[in-house]
Amino acid sequence: MGILDLDEGVVLENVKPLIFVMSDARGETANVVVMAAAAQFGPDSVDIVRLHDAKDLATVEKFLDENVQPDRPMAVFHTFSDKNMRREVRGLLESRGIPSIDLLGPAISVIATLSGEEPNNKVGALRDQLAK
């Protein structure tokens, strides 16, 4: 299997990519999106490691320190409800050269623009709405 090294534009052979799924709640939303995308490539195309209930940047930094494997291509998919946390995480990942996808922020921005309302930034808001 050939893997694209996003930093170098070089294909690495026989290296399984590592995908980190991060969230300030359970991380189910991000995990389902990543699993749906990975399913397009076969059952063993990537390894997925989740960080849930990440309430601050120190938690994310510790997780990365413990889980980053420099010899493997990797990316982060995340769903943080707070815009400041999203910005901090994006900055941290950029400083480490780790590509990332913010799965929640752009959708929140579009809905805020369309509705004229401010988001509540509530962690686990979907879970709470579904529980009613």
What is the domain-level CATH number for residue 40? Answer: 3.40.50
Tens of pLDDT along the chain (132 residues) come to 334 455 555 555 678 999 999 999 999 999 999 999 999 998 889 999 999 999 999 999 999 999 999 999 999 999 999 999 999 999 999 999 999 999 999 999 999 999 999 998 888 777 766 777
State residue 34's pLDDT score.
96
Give the DSSP H/E element, type plus range, for residue 48: strand 47-51
Structural domain span for residue 89: 2-131
Total domain count for the chain?
1
- Angle, CA of 92, 13 and 7, to the nearest 5°: 30
State residue 4's pLDDT score.
44
Q: Is the dihedral of CA 96, 54, 76, 105 positive or negative?
A: negative
pTM over 0.75: yes
Give the DSSP H/E element, type plus range, for residue 12: strand 10-13
**DSSP for 50-71, written as a single string:** EE-S--SHHHHHHHHHHH--TT
State residue 97 phi and psi, 5-degree precision: 70, 30
